[in-house]
Amino acid sequence: MNRRTAIGILTAFGLFAAFGLAQSESPAPQILTVSGDVPSPLQLKADDLAKMPRETVSVQEEDGTKVQYEGVPLREVLARAGAPLGKELRGRALASYVLAKAHDGYQVVFGLAEMDASFANESILVADKRDGKPLFGYQGPFRLVCPNDKAGARSVRMLETLEIVRLRK
Amino acid sequence: MRRVLLTLSRVAFLLWQALPVPAADGGQTYAWNLPKGFPKPYVPADNPMTAAKVELGRYLFYDTRMSVNGKASCATCHKQELAFTDGRAVGIGATGEAHSRSAMSLVNVAYSATLTWSNPKMRLLEDQAIVPMFGDHPVELGLREGDGFLPMLRSDPKYRQLFATAFPAEKDPTTITNVTKALACFERSIISARSPYDRYHYGGDDSAVSESAKRGEILIFSQQISCFRCHGGFNFSDATISESNPGREVEFHNTGLYNLSGPFSYPPPNLGVYEFTKSGADMGKFKAPTLRNIAVTAPYMHDGSISTIEGVLDHYAAGGRTIDSGVNAGIGHDNPNKDRLIGGFQLSARDRADLIAFLRSLTDEAVLRDTRFANPW
């Protein structure tokens, strides 16, 4: 096998691996799923989020653009599903995390303590509006906004699923 | 009610499109009239924007007397109808000398963190203007200190009036410094924000772009294709700054366009940031230009070596370009400096059509015809 053939095979494998991920040319579904190791899994629509406690955060993007996102604090969404927060977030529960999955397969992780009021108390938002308008296209209908993250990589766009994982029970 | 609101938003958007820049206060102020989603550009403190300087800059930009032989102006390589590029692989100067790189678009150049394809130190249009005016390698406009350029400006009644209005506090405003300031102001004024994509994304007009273009936008910002990592934000370039974030660190990218054997993996003299740092890690690294108006700025890449958008997609889909024969033969995919984000991807025929539809939706026909940016002579 010569070098170019080997490279070709590896490239083809890489392309197959990439293609094997979720394809994302279609808009994300209008439902946010909260699942995993929680007593009350949820299927949330924009109407459901509209009835929950809401916050607005201002974010300056790297190019200087200033935008306002509106939505529900992530801790509120997780609490509604019964994730261990507040007084329950102690001991083994501290080894729990949220796996946020995007429509295109992108995934990031948050420790539960990051957003709990007794710990880091981060204002991570499940946003459904940007500058007063519903999120659409590559942003929506739901996305995470992490205003205190220096990089934007955990502000997951086209958010589809929040999966709670308890490593120790 | 929704339809009424939508109509009102469209009317507001159209009104914004039609608004001229008012020349209030004797041209000593400037109104950007930026749409929602566009931040105010960074402007150096010693050269604030004024309508009078923008107008002077426009006359200079299109004046072929600003070249050694009267055959070229800035507009020779930066034609409005081509989004201020020239349609050539590489620029051709007043004396016929070829530049080694492709003329970059000047549209939204006000937002560019750095200027030219790969010079990390060139951050101000005022400084950059000196290069085509007086540069020798290559000769672009071919001006020389002490030639007849400034005397020509001083003897022309139109320029006497324009300089006096643009720099009212100066006794002799006709200087090279002020020429560069005026050119910079004119260039900063060329803002593209009226494409079908803008009407869709910022103007609330869902019908402004096709469903194919909407799918293409999602693809551009997807994890699989990831064009957004270098071409993201409102200006579709990671080398974008604005007034509120002028000091952004700029990343340059080796996209695997070449992989030559020998001391340089890219063909000289276009070695990217390496030309300025002499660091091997900077070999082949160039700026990610804006994607706005990309459909009218062919040919592509720093050296104009890819003639079509389809060819550019092929290059990125393969994770680098393979050149089978000739002096530039090599497998760009294997360039040791290649950006780790250039990994390759697979496109279906529909994906490809969607991406191209999206890229075409970024063409701002208004900026290509706007009389504020046209030849005043």
| A134, B27, B189 from B367: Cα distances, Å | 29, 22, 11
pLDDT in tens, B27-55: 889 999 998 889 999 999 999 999 999 99
CATH code matching the domain that covers A25-166, chosen among 3.90.420.10, 3.40.630.10, 3.40.190.10, 3.30.420.310: 3.90.420.10
pLDDT at B285 over 80: yes
Tokens coding B132? 């085509």
Give contacts of B 74-133 with A, CB under 8 A: 111
Instruction: Give the pLDDT of residue B85.
Output: 98
Q: With bands split at pLDDT 50, 70 and 90, how would you rate the model's confidence at B145?
A: confident
Amino acid at residue number A110: F
Q: With bands split at pLDDT 50, 70 and 90, how would you rate the model's confidence at B147?
A: confident
CB contact set of A144 (below 8 Å; sequence gap of 6+): A74, A100, A108, A124, A125, A126, A127, A154, A155, A156, A159
Instruction: Give the pLDDT of residue A26.
Output: 80
Nearest residue to B304 (alpha-carbon basis) of B263, B257, B337, B268: B257
Q: With bands split at pLDDT 50, 70 and 90, how would you rate the model's confidence at A27?
A: confident
| A18, A19, B316, B342 from B224: Cα distances, Å | 6, 8, 12, 11
Instruction: Find chain A residues with C-beta within 8 A of B234's C-beta.
Output: 63, 65
Give contacts of A 98-117 with B, CB under 8 A: 102, 104-106
Domain boundaries, chain B: 21-192+367-373, 196-360
pLDDT at B188 over 80: yes
Q: What is chain B's alpha carbon radius of gyration, rounded to the nearest angstrom? A: 21
A40 at B interface, C-beta within 8 A = no
Instruction: Give the pLDDT of residue A91.
Output: 93
Is the whole-model pTM more than 0.90? no
Instruction: Give the pLDDT of residue B132.
Output: 96
Instruction: Give the pLDDT of residue A29.
Output: 86
pLDDT in tens, B244-268: 989 888 999 999 999 999 899 999 9
| A46, B157, B287 from B309: Cα distances, Å | 38, 46, 18
pLDDT at B2 over 70: no
Percent of chain B's residues with pLDDT above 90: 88
Average pLDDT over residues A30-36: 96
Percent of chain B's residues with pLDDT above 70: 94
| A152, A154, B188, B233 from A149: Cα distances, Å | 7, 8, 32, 17
Q: With bands split at pLDDT 50, 70 and 90, how would you rate the model's confidence at B9?
A: low
Instruction: Give the pLDDT of residue B348.
Output: 94
Which residues, in sequence order, are bridge partners of residue B323?
Answer: B330
Instruction: Give the pLDDT of residue B17.
Output: 47
Question: What are the two backbone dihedrals, phi and then psi, of residue B53, each rounded to the nearest 5 degrees?
Answer: -70, -35
Instruction: Give the pLDDT of residue B5.
Output: 54
pLDDT in tens, B58-90: 999 999 999 999 999 999 999 999 999 999 999
Question: What gap in Å lies between CA A43 and CA A101, rounded to an integer?
Answer: 14
CB atoms within 10 A of CB B329: 13
pLDDT at A17 over 90: no
A107: left (phi over 0), alpha (psi -120 to 50) or beta: beta
pLDDT in tens, B337-367: 999 999 999 999 999 999 999 999 999 999 9
The CATH code for residues B21-192+367-373 is 1.10.760.10
pLDDT at A9 over 70: no
Q: With bands split at pLDDT 50, 70 and 90, how would you rate the model's confidence at B57?
A: very high
Instruction: Give the pLDDT of residue A13.
Output: 35
Which residue among A63, A102, A131 places its CB closest to the CB of B241?
A63
Q: With bands split at pLDDT 50, 70 and 90, how would you rate the model's confidence at A99?
A: very high
CA distance A138 to chain B (A): 5
CA distance A5 to chain B (A): 12
Look at B36 and A5; give whichever has higher pLDDT.
B36
Taking the C-alpha atoms of A72, A74, A79 and A82 in order, what is their torsion angle to the nearest 10 degrees?
120
Instruction: Give the pLDDT of residue B6.
Output: 52
pLDDT at A131 over 90: yes
Amino acid at residue number A131: D
Nearest residue to A30 (alpha-carbon basis) of A126, A156, A128, A131: A128
Question: What gap in Å lies between CA B187 and CA B203, rounded to an integer?
Answer: 25
Instruction: Give the pLDDT of residue B26.
Output: 78
Q: Three-state SS for B193?
A: coil
What's the topology of domain B196-360? Cytochrome Bc1 Complex; Chain D, domain 2 (1.10.760)
Question: What gap in Å lies between CA B23 and CA B29, rounded to an integer?
Answer: 7
Instruction: Give the pLDDT of residue A169.
Output: 82
pLDDT at A71 over 50: yes
B215 at A interface, C-beta within 8 A = yes
Instruction: Give the pLDDT of residue A24.
Output: 61
* Interchain proximity B39–A133, CB inside 8 Å: no
Question: What gap in Å lies between CA B349 and CA B357, rounded to an integer?
Answer: 12
* Interchain proximity A25–B215, CB inside 8 Å: yes
